[in-house]
Amino acid sequence: MNTEHADPGELAALRAAFGVEGGGASALGWEKLRAFEAEHGIVLPEPYRTFVAEITDGSRQGPPAYGLLALGEVPRGSWSDPAARDLGKPFPLTEAWLWEEDEDEPDLDAVLRHGSVVLGTDGCAMDWHLIVTGPHRGHLWQITDVGALPFGAGFGHTTAAPGFAGWVAHWAAGKEWFDAPAP
């Protein structure tokens, strides 16, 4: 997973997955993307960065189940108020966390609001976040009403490659999100 340089093969696969040839009419464009990054003091990880600038900024088709949100949006009814988010502060987690089972829980507000953009929801408070700052930059996490779980084969639970391109490829292949065999 390379978060600094967009891989042409990954970008081609992303275009195919979303049915976008060449530059998408709904792409944000580089000027608006750089303005968003400057406003938040971040640089988005690749290939998501190029995807939003050149391919599409949100889509009614998935992933996730209710479609891909435009950059900076949050799902309707979400606890992730866009005004309260601080993308420049590092995302605090590096391993799965079930807050109902943890007496020494990390700051839940930081998990929900720091260092990630919300990509969308699978409904029932199951939101997908792309980490933009901190040790897990470039990885995706599913954050629910009971906990947070990193996505990618290296973390267990799924056979998918890590990062945005791996997440989209897994969806495009029609696989269940958590398809790894139980231990």
**Domains of the chain in sequence order:** 8-172 (3.40.1580)
pLDDT band (50, 70, 90) for residue 19: confident
Lowest mean pLDDT among 26-35, 49-58, 66-75, 105-114: 105-114
Lowest mean pLDDT among 13-22, 44-53, 62-71, 72-81: 72-81
The rounded distance, in Å, linking the Cα atoms of 77 and 67 is 15
Mean pLDDT in residue range 161-165: 96
Mean pLDDT in residue range 127-141: 97
Mean pLDDT in residue range 8-29: 86
Q: What is the pLDDT of residue 106?
A: 63
pLDDT band (50, 70, 90) for residue 75: confident
Of 104, 125, 126, 130, which is closest to residue 115 (Cα–Cα)? Answer: 130
Helix (H, G, I), strand (E, B) or coil at 108: helix
pLDDT band (50, 70, 90) for residue 77: low
pLDDT band (50, 70, 90) for residue 108: confident
CA distances from 85 to 13, 20, 51, 116, 154 (A): 30, 30, 22, 8, 28
Of 13, 88, 14, which is closest to residue 53 (Cα–Cα)? Answer: 14
Q: What is the pLDDT of residue 125?
A: 83
Q: Is the pLDDT of residue 104 over 80?
A: no
Q: What is the pLDDT of residue 61?
A: 82
- 151 φ, ψ (degrees, to nearest 5): -110, 135
Q: Is the pLDDT of residue 119 over 90?
A: yes
Structure tokens belonging to residue 44: 């988005």
Mean pLDDT in residue range 156-160: 93
pLDDT band (50, 70, 90) for residue 181: confident
pTM of the model: 0.93
